Structures are given as structure tokens and as C-alpha cells.
Structure 1
Amino acid sequence: MAVEEIEASLERQEAPGLPHVPLADAQRHRGPDGEGYYVERAAPLLLHDARPSGDEAGICGLGHRRLAVLDPSRGRQPMVSRDGTLAVVFNGEIFNFESLRRELQPECRFDTDCDTEVLLHLHARHPDDPAAWIRRLNGLFAFAIWDRRRGRLLLARDPHGVKPLHVARHGGDLLFASEIKALLAAGVPSRLNRAALHVFMNVRYVPGEDTLFDGIRRFPPGHFAWVANGILEEPRRFHTLPPAGASAAPPPSERTGLIRDVFRRAVAGQLTSDVPVGISLSGGLDSSMNVAAAAAAYRSDPPIRSGDRILRTFTLGFNEPTDELDDARLVAGRFGAEHHEDRLALNPLARMGEVIRAVEEPKINIIQGYVLSQFASRNVKVLLSGLGGDELFAGYDIHRFCNTLGRGHRWMPRDVQRGLLGPLGRLWWRAQTAGGALRFEHCRIGGQIALSLGDRAQFYTRLRNAWDGDAGMYGRIYARPDDFRSLPATQSYFEPYFDDDGDYLDQVLRAEFQTKMVNDFLVNEDRVTSAHGVEGRVPFLDPNLVRLAFSIPARDKMRGRETKTLW
């Protein structure tokens, strides 16, 4: 049923209002094609053409804003099972829903041609073991299923956190929604989370489950949880990245071909739609691979289910010689795409207020995506991006530093790393500060990196420009620095991903995939597309491709200082 937006509330007991109505209203942009509400009380109430009144309060309320992508005429939500015992709201797309449906059909009758209904039947088959069926889903999803018979609700979020899900408590109720602004609209107080702000000021995003709003948390990716009597149980993991060396990597001679084959299948699956689909094309390698794979998928026999099957690409120029408009035109022309171009305004900061409201964090690097998504929304409802390629296959400059350090770690005994690198860093720091060989800010940053050479997590956070290991910086950043000195150090958020064993580059890739990818890049991707009623999809995060990528030793993803050599 793809690309349905979930905004809902679960009330612990009867309440005077219906918080799921303002929850849904605040996210009208995510689902401009319709709305629906479900209220559980003495008898369930399902409304698609009218809103519930305040007198309809009960123990569970679900609200939904719809972006109609699959089966537009029949896939309305909340969707209720034939026997009336289950109700679901769902944001996302299950790309293997047709094969799951064929598996279920001997016993189950389907009334729609969308993926939402598959969730109801899978849950009905395994009501007490969600992990048994959730881990079989290949898709991007956040959903909630209310089970009347058992009096409990199931929450779940996709393995890599592509689709958002936030939770909060307010007035005795448990509220959940795709976006923070929906929870604020339902009455959750807007209070600053100082610890989250501190780590944000260091690395420019908030890793983990915290948000900048105190009391509003992110539901963790790859988890599900039960809610009963208004109590959210501890989320349980249904997915984890395979540990290094857990599965045999394909032979080196077969890797590139296998990666491309799995990627082509991922793109073909993520083109699934009953409305027009587009591709964000920067002219770089990853987005160009999307275009090439989509062109091949559209030529396939039998034809794939993908709107009007017109290959459309969208590119944003920056009115600078360094933009990639020429490269994008070349790629689009090579594959016969219907190419669309726009240019960033000369004063893009004039729109910064609306962009920050959309993303819910003060970021500067999101204007381009916001403008491009708005431009693409005139022609498509689904937009594929190349996000994830650099993260899986070591494509950033930081990976060069980490690979170099990792090679040193491989031949240097652990005790030497701890006992020698730290003192050498301190010696370098004293020499540079005494001699004045570098500008002050370069000396300070370089010194902090050097001082952390013997500590893997600390070295990573310094490369990511975390500054809170330098006590002198607090007064430069905060008007009241003492309010922040006792907060957890930025490094503490990343320590679980590092130890003194194993390949350092592999640890960095895994850490970034589970932190920066989820809570920075994917947050941006979701908000800037959804702000304009567009569903963002990321083929590089296909679970089969992710599993394959992490089975390959990280050191084989680079050749010297050359990044992303497996492509």
C-alpha cells in the first residue's frame, strides 16, 4: 500500500479529547490525498469521510494522512481486518509484498492490491511472534497494529530507520507520530533537551533515540514493541547488522558483479508504484547508477509495476561553475531520461525558516534537497536518491584517514597503540603550540586529533569535528558554559561501536551507518521529500545489498587512498 503516513495515539484510558486528530492535521503535507480515523471504545469506529467528535474518546485512537501511491482507490487507512479485530496505520512500502501475498493467498482473502493488507494478514497468522514476520519484510516502514482481541498495540520500524517514528507521553497518554511537530500539536510541551543540544553542537545531529525536544524520543530502527494499558514495553530487536566475519564474503573476482546484480534488483523493486516515479540525479556515481538500473528495469519483460514507466530525472544547479548540471545532462541523455532541471535561488537562506520547520533541526545542508523535492513534486510522487552508496562502500574523505589509521592498527600491538600514540600526540601538540607553526584554530583541531590517536572512538569523533574534549571551547560556544560541562561527552555516544580489536575502517562504517546515516542523512531525506508530498526511497539501503556490503572486509572497499573501488 506503499507510502502511507502514520500519525496516531494510544490512550491509556478514556480522555476528553482525541489527540490523533491534531496529530494527523499537523502532517497534512505528508499525506495530501486523504485522511482517516479509528477509535476503539465499546465498539470500534472507523471514519474515512468525516472526523470523529470529541465525544468518541476511547482506549485507542489512530489517525492517518494518505499519500496514495499503490491502489489509490482502495488502500485507505486506517485499514481494518475483515473480522474487525485488527486495525493498522502504515507509512512506507513493502517491496516484496506481492510474493508474501501469494504465499498467504491459499488461506487469506484480499480486498485490495496494496501492501498494507499484507501486514494485517501476517500479524493475524503470528500475533504473538512479530519478529517471525517483520524480519521477512523487504521495505521502508513504520507501522502500528491495534489488536482488539488482545487489547494491545504493536509498533515497528524498518531495519535501517528510513521511515521515522517518534513517541512521547502526555497527560497519561502515549502518543506516536512520524514527525515531532505532530506531537507538539497534540499538546506535548516544547522543552529543550540540553544533552541532545550539546551533542548536536558537536557533530550537527543527535545520535541515538534522543531528539532536541525533551520527552520526545525516536523509536529505534530494527525494533518492535508492544503497548498495553498505555505502557510502552522495552523495544525488542528483530534486525541487526551482521558482525564482521559472520558470513563468508563472495570471492574478490565476483564481488563487483554480484553487488551490481543485487543493486539492480533493489532499484527494480523500489520503482514499484501506481503513480509517476522520478530519480534525483546529481551526476555523481551513485545517483547515476540509480538511473542506469531504472532504465534497465523499465525495459524488462514482463514489465514492472511502476506508474507510467517513464524514466524521469531531476537535478538542481547552484549557479556556480562547480555544479554538476553538465554531468547530470550527460547521464540523463545516455539513458534516454525525461530530464528536469532547476536552479537554486541566489538567496536560498531567505527560505531557511520553512526548511528548519520541515526538518525539525537547524541544519544548513538541507536547502538543496528541500528545493529539489519541491521541484520534483510537480511531476512525481516518488523520488529515488543515491543515499547510502558512500556509507556502504567507503566513499568519503574521512574513510581515507580511517583506512590509513586502520592499516597501522593491524600491525601495531594494542599496548603500543595505547602507550605510544597518545604520548606522541601530546608531544606534537606541545611542539605546535610552542612554535606557532599553525594558525590557532588549525592547531587546536589538529592537536585534538593527535591527542586522540590511541583511542579509536575519540579519534573518530575528532575527525567529525567534535570539540568538547577541549575545555577551552565551552566558553566560545555557550553563553553559560557551566550549564553544559557536566553533560555526557560526545564521544560517549559512539564508544559502543569501537574497541581495540578488529578493522578500524569497518568499525567506522558500521558506526556511521547506525548513527549519522539514520539520525542525520535519513532524517533530512524523509523531511525534505515529505514536506512536499513526495515519498523518498533509497535503493542502496535494500536489506540484501546492506547484508552483502557488510560481508565484504572494509579494507577491500578501498585501494590505497582510492575510495569505493568495488563499484
Structure 2
Amino acid sequence: MCGITGLFAFSDSGRSSLTGLQASTDAIVSRGPDSQGHFVYDCVGLGFRRLAILDLSADGNQPMTDESGRYTIVFNGEIFNFRELRARLQRKGYTFKSHTDTEVILKLYITEGRGFLKKLNGFFGLAIYDKEENTLFIARDRMGVKPMLVYRDEDKLMFASEMKSLLALGVPRKLDYASLSHYLQLNYIPGPATIFKGVKKLLPGHYLFVRPDGKVVKKRWYKIPYDPKKVAKNRTTYEQQKAKLVELMDASVARRLVADVPLGSFLSGGIDSSVITALAARHTPHLNTFSIGFRDEPFFDETKYANLVAKMHKTNHTVFSLTNNDLYGHLFDVLDYFDEPFADSSALAVYILSKHTREKVTVALSGDGADEMFAGYNKHMGEWQVRTGGAKAELVTGLNILWDVLPKSRNSFLGNKVRQLQRFSRGMLSGPKDRYWDWASLASEKDARNLLSPSARSKAGKRIADKRRKDILENLHADGDLNEVLLTDMNLVLPYDMLAKVDLMSMANSLEVRTPFLDYKVVNFAFSLPVESKIDAKMKKRIVQDAFRPLLPEELYKRPKHGFEVPLLKWFRNELRPLITDDLLSDDFVEAQGIFSVDAVRDLKKQLFSNNPGDVHARIWALIVFQHWWKRHMV
């Protein structure tokens, strides 16, 4: 796990940007504190920061060049089947000077060309330069676990693991207002767009091939193989499906236990991380496991269940028990790390968990991805109920007026239930595309656009934003089923919210996080299953819960699922109030900035400090994150 950056110049003017390569590499030191390296040749510069996981010797340093001197690679990630691939190459007569997956990747590219990507099982962002042909190959893993940002103009193409590196290379800081509009709705920016015009996220499962004349070939090399016709013909029994899932997951976890540094597992107390822990404990005696508890927020504290799993599987368990003051103490560390606005407030908890876990281990397993593939969210149950209908669904819709007037909040059981019922009722009256977008959003498109000043609203280009939204929702059809919703989650929520959050917050603390559920063999299997294997009237994530029931404490099946919510409302009314009223959201600052409507922001603040704030604190948080980012990067 590392950080990479680089530049391919098409002109003398483009070559001048090579002077920023050192600063570009320095900007991502937390991604690789163990060493750094650079390769500069003619029109190309490659930069690298190393977090040593395999072969801790200098032989594993990058950039890495083959024996002929023709090919040079920078690689961020882990390839879990590299030993099998290495053995195949050795049987063909190839020799190796290191014990790294990096060298295996380089020789596979040399022998097989771009098609080698399909042989890799792992996650990565990589770039390979061919000195003889003067070409650059850039690729991203199937699911988008590892990031890859790209900027291109007429003089050069630049790439990096994080925006910080591109900014250090001199990327123009021009705000993309269509991205801002989507950010205000979703609390993150969906790819391929970023907050800056011209900077793009290379989509998961895609690669670029850059030629010296400036021509760039983009190709999708992996797509989740979902075919509803094939799913309909799936004749395996549910018992066979469960057995296959256990087999695939056990193999996936085993592959991800290879490391030359200390390794452990996150253990939240939820089903997903508990499954990973149970499987890892089969292969690793006294596995290190880590949880965080919230002393001041008992509604969100799940350490009781994590302790049960740890006891059952005899893990070496550590609980980091936090107060709200502990959370608040790291708030600005998180805000300072964001180089693109990102307002999923649970990033704070991931940051703290990663920070404390890094004191014990260098690699941690996580349960990310299971909810998106196997229907684990409340919105998935809502979607199932909308599609199956019935008297209960009709009753909820009939009480629309009641849901509108009752207080709503994520921070209490009753308030959260009212919030969910109101969203469900609204979704019942929508088509699948509008319903999906509504349930994925924290604010409606209308509310988000109204929050912008007239000038910013015109720059946001509704046509551009609508086109991006249409592309995101392309897999949803009126006659489709819930698997299409899950596929859309895999292409939107997973890479640009969940995985982005984990990558940013773990790498801010030099911790590698591995995600066994996102092994492509598991993903391919998940999308061969019918909806009824994943969800029914009684259970979300049905096959995951049933398949691993023998490995988990029964108590895990007797509790409601809820995510973690940072106590934003309390902070906004106390510690952060001056930041809202006198600084980032003050009338004077908002007016001088010219991006947001002073009246609209004032209305949000009024609601925030009222007796019925609802979910407005989530929208206020999105504004604070943006304003803090704006001050750091645009002023």
C-alpha cells in the first residue's frame, strides 16, 4: 500500500511541470512513510511513497525498472495471488530479484500486455512507462478500492493517488459547479467528476493507454457480470449458495492474511466485520481485533457485540473507548486531510479507529462491500417493500401528513424511524430512478440548487449535472429488480463514499485496509444470485446472515442494525457554534465568497438552532466541510 504520482508531457511546456514531482510526492507522505523514489526520463516523471508490507528490504522500493531498463512501474495496492502468478512466470524461465507483487505485475505486463489485468486478484492503482515506445499505461482495480485521479490538457497528462499530489504539480484550481451541486445532494462527489474542472477519477475497472502524440485510449477492462437472464436460470439451491459463499469468503480472507508486517481485523460488532474476524481466526491464532466504543453515545455503541465475537473466536481484542471530546479533538485533523469536499461524517470514526489500530498493526481487514452486494441497508428493505407492495406499504404512504409534522432525527430510535417512514412514503410515489436518487441523497436537487447563489446556479449547468445523474442511474429499469439497485450501489455508493472514506482515513494514518468481501470472485458470485437469496420480508443480507450463523454469536441476530452518527447537532449548538455564526457560515463570509445564497444559508442556520432541526445538521456539515476546504485550497 503506497502512494503514486506522475506526469507524461506532450510538449516542452508540459515538461516544465516535472519540477513539481518532488513536492507532489511529499504531499502524500502519510500514504508511504517508509521510503520515497522518483524516476525521470525525458518527458516522463514518476513519483512513489512506500508503505512496506511485503519484502521490507530495499528490493521492494519503487519506482521499479526491469532488467532491460525499458519498463518502469509505480504501483499502489496489493495483489493477493502474486505468488501463484510468480510461480507460473518462473516455470517459463523468468527470474526475480525481489519477493514483491510489484515485480510480478511488471513482468506480467512485459509478457502479456494490457490483458494481464484480468489475472490480478487484488486492489491497485498503477502506472507503467515503456521507454522504447514512449507510452504510459495507467490502471485502476475492479471495484475502485484504490483511487486514481487524472488531469489532462494539451501539454501533459498527470495522475496521482490523491488530489494533494495533483495540486502540487500545478493543476488549475477551477471549481466544477456541477460537482458541487451533486456534492450538496449526496455529501460526496461521484466519479468520474471531481471538485475541480479537468480532474477526473479514473473509473473502477478502467485503464488508460497514453501515447507520445497525446492520444489517450480509455478502456473498461472489468464490469460486474450481472445478467438478469442468467440469474433467472440459476438453479442452485439456497443451501448450495450458502456453502459456496462460505467457501469463497474463506479463500478470500486467507489470501488477505499474507503480510510481512503485523496484521489484524476491524471488529465493529456488526455481521460483516464479525464474519471477517471469524474466518480470519481460523487461519490466524490469537488474531488482533480492534473496535471503538462511544461512551457518550450509547445508541451507537456496539462494543458489547464485538466483545462477544472476540470471546467466541479467542482474538486478541482491543477496544478504544471514546468520548465526544475525543471525537471533537480529531475533527480538524480530518477536515484538514480532505483535498476534495467529503461530508460523510462517519469518516471521523474511521480516522480515529485507523489511528489507534496503526499503533498495533500495519494491515487491517474490514467488512466493507457486503451491504452493497447483499442488500444490507434499510433503503434496500424499503425498495423490496415498494416492489412487493402490500397493505403495510400502502398504510405508510397514507400517513404522509403525519410523517411530515413529526420530529425526525438520526440520533434517536423514534426520530430515526419517523425519518425512514417519511423517505419510504416519498419513494413509494416515485419511479425506480428518482427513488434511488432520493434515497441516496441528503438533500433534493431543488434544495441543493436553491442553496447556490444565482451566479453559481448558472455555472452549475443543470444539463451537465443531469447527464452525470443519468449515467449513474443507467442500470435501473422499471421492469428490473433489486439486483439493479445493488449494482448501482456498487458503482456509486461503494467507490465514492464507502471506499473513498476508508482509503482516505486509513492512509492518513499509514494503515493498509483489505476488504475480503470485494474479492472479484465473491462479487461475481453475489451478482449471480436471485434477489430472494439476499432479502425477504424478515431479513436483509439474508444469505450472509444464514451462511455464517454457525460462526457467530446468536446475540448478533437479535439486535437492530444502525450506523454511527457523529454528534454534530450537539457540536453545532455548542463548540462549533462560533464557526457557523461568525466564520464559515457567517453572512459576511458567504456573501463575499459568492457561491451560496445568503438567505438560504441563513434559513438552514435558523432551522438548526430551532426546536425541530430534523436532519438539517447533515446539510450544515456538508457546508462546513466545503467551506473549510475552500479556505485551504481556493483562497
State the TM bucket, normalised to the shorter chain. Answer: 0.7 to 0.9
Q: Aligned with 2:182: secondary structure?
A: helix
Report the equivalent of 2:381.
400
- In the TM superposition, residue 221 of structure 1 has moved relative to its aligned partner by 0.8
Measure, in 1, the Cα distance between the counterparts of 2:427 and 2:2: 49
Measure, in 1, the Cα distance between the counterparts of 2:496 and 2:403: 38
- In the TM superposition, residue 485 of structure 1 has moved relative to its aligned partner by 7.3
TM-score by length of 2: 0.76
In the alignment of these two chains, the number of paired residues is 515
Q: Aligned with 1:532: secondary structure?
A: coil
Measure, in 1, the Cα distance between the counterparts of 2:212 and 2:4: 21
Amino acid at match of 2:324: L
**Which string of whole-angstrom CA distances, capped at 9 and with x for unpartnered residues, describes residues 336-393 of structure 1?**
2121221234232343232123243242221000001010111111111111111111
User: Among 73, 88, 94, which residue is 1:88 paired with?
Assistant: 73
Report the equivalent of 2:237.
251
Measure, in 2, the Cα distance between the counterparts of 1:239 and 1:144: 17
Amino acid at match of 2:376: G
Report the equivalent of 2:577.
none
Identical-residue share of aligned pairs (%): 32
Q: Which moved more, 1:180-189 or 1:449-458?
A: 449-458
Q: Where in structure 2 are the equivalents of 1:378-527 lying within 5 Å?
A: 378-408=359-389, 438=405, 446=422, 450=426, 453-465=429-441, 467-469=443-445, 471=446, 474-475=449-450, 477-480=451-454, 482-483=457-458, 484=460, 486=462, 488-489=465-466, 491-503=469-481, 505-527=482-504
Q: Which moved more, 1:8-17 or 1:368-377?
A: 8-17
User: Among 54, 59, 65, which residue is 1:70 paired with?
Assistant: 54
User: Among 131, 138, 160, which residue is 1:148 paired with?
Assistant: 131
Report the equivalent of 1:192.
175
**Which string of whole-angstrom CA distances, capped at 9 and with x for unpartnered residues, describes residues 475-512 of structure 1?**
3x334474357352485353312112221x11110000
Measure, in 1, the Cα distance between the counterparts of 2:312 and 2:532: 33
Report the equivalent of 1:565.
542
8 Å contact kept, 1:344–1:371: no
- What is the RMSD of the two structures over their aligned residues, measured on CA atoms? 2.8
Q: Aligned with 2:98: secondary structure?
A: coil
Report the equivalent of 1:307.
none
TM-score by length of 1: 0.85
Is it true that 1:266 corresponds to 2:266 in the alignment? no
Is it true that 1:19 corresponds to 2:20 in the alignment? yes
- In the TM superposition, residue 101 of structure 1 has moved relative to its aligned partner by 0.7
Report the equivalent of 2:317.
339
Measure, in 1, the Cα distance between the counterparts of 2:403 and 2:69: 75
Q: Where in structure 2 are the equivalents of 1:26-37 lying within 5 Å?
A: 26-37=27-38
Amino acid at match of 1:337: T
8 Å contact kept, 2:177–2:461: no
Amino acid at match of 1:461: W
Report the equivalent of 2:589.
none
Report the equivalent of 2:332.
353
Measure, in 1, the Cα distance between the counterparts of 2:518 and 2:272: 12
1:231–1:555 CA distance, 2 compared to 1 (3 A): farther
**Which string of whole-angstrom CA distances, capped at 9 and with x for unpartnered residues, describes residues 197-247 of structure 1?**
111111212222011222211011101110112636242011111123446
Report the equivalent of 2:529.
552
Report the equivalent of 2:45.
61
Measure, in 1, the Cα distance between the counterparts of 2:177 and 2:420: 25
Structure number having the greater helix percentage: 2
- In the TM superposition, residue 448 of structure 1 has moved relative to its aligned partner by 10
Measure, in 2, the Cα distance between the counterparts of 1:28 and 1:149: 31
1:353–1:221 CA distance, 2 compared to 1 (3 A): same
Amino acid at match of 1:78: P
Report the equivalent of 2:624.
none
Amino acid at match of 1:23: S
Report the equivalent of 2:308.
330
User: Among 485, 503, 506, which residue is 1:529 paired with?
Assistant: 506
Q: Aligned with 2:127: secondary structure?
A: strand
1:349–1:212 CA distance, 2 compared to 1 (3 A): farther
8 Å contact kept, 1:452–1:458: no
- In the TM superposition, residue 547 of structure 1 has moved relative to its aligned partner by 0.7
Report the equivalent of 1:138.
121
Is it true that 1:368 corresponds to 2:349 in the alignment? yes
Report the equivalent of 1:279.
265
Measure, in 2, the Cα distance between the counterparts of 1:473 and 1:325: 37
Q: Aligned with 1:231: secondary structure?
A: coil
Measure, in 2, the Cα distance between the counterparts of 1:500 and 1:38: 52
Where does the alignment leave 5 or more consecutive residues of structure 1 unmatched?
Answer: 41-57, 300-309, 410-420
Measure, in 2, the Cα distance between the counterparts of 1:564 and 1:193: 37
1:443–1:33 CA distance, 2 compared to 1 (3 A): closer
- In the TM superposition, residue 133 of structure 1 has moved relative to its aligned partner by 1.3
1:4–1:453 CA distance, 2 compared to 1 (3 A): same
Measure, in 2, the Cα distance between the counterparts of 1:447 and 1:265: 39
1:21–1:402 CA distance, 2 compared to 1 (3 A): same
Q: Aligned with 1:168: secondary structure?
A: strand
Amino acid at match of 1:83: S
User: Among 3, 6, 29, which residue is 2:4 paired with?
Assistant: 6
8 Å contact kept, 1:278–1:311: yes
Measure, in 2, the Cα distance between the counterparts of 1:121 and 1:547: 27
8 Å contact kept, 1:122–1:133: yes
Q: Aligned with 1:274: secondary structure?
A: coil
**Which string of whole-angstrom CA distances, capped at 9 and with x for unpartnered residues, describes residues 279-333 of structure 1?**
111011111111111111226xxxxxxxxxx511111111133311222122112
8 Å contact kept, 1:97–1:118: yes
Measure, in 2, the Cα distance between the counterparts of 1:171 and 1:22: 23
8 Å contact kept, 1:95–1:138: yes
Report the equivalent of 1:288.
274
Measure, in 1, the Cα distance between the counterparts of 2:171 and 2:73: 24
Measure, in 1, the Cα distance between the counterparts of 2:403 and 2:84: 66
Report the equivalent of 1:306.
none
Measure, in 1, the Cα distance between the counterparts of 2:131 and 2:26: 25
**Which string of whole-angstrom CA distances, capped at 9 and with x for unpartnered residues, describes residues 445-468 of structure 1?**
959964773521001112224644
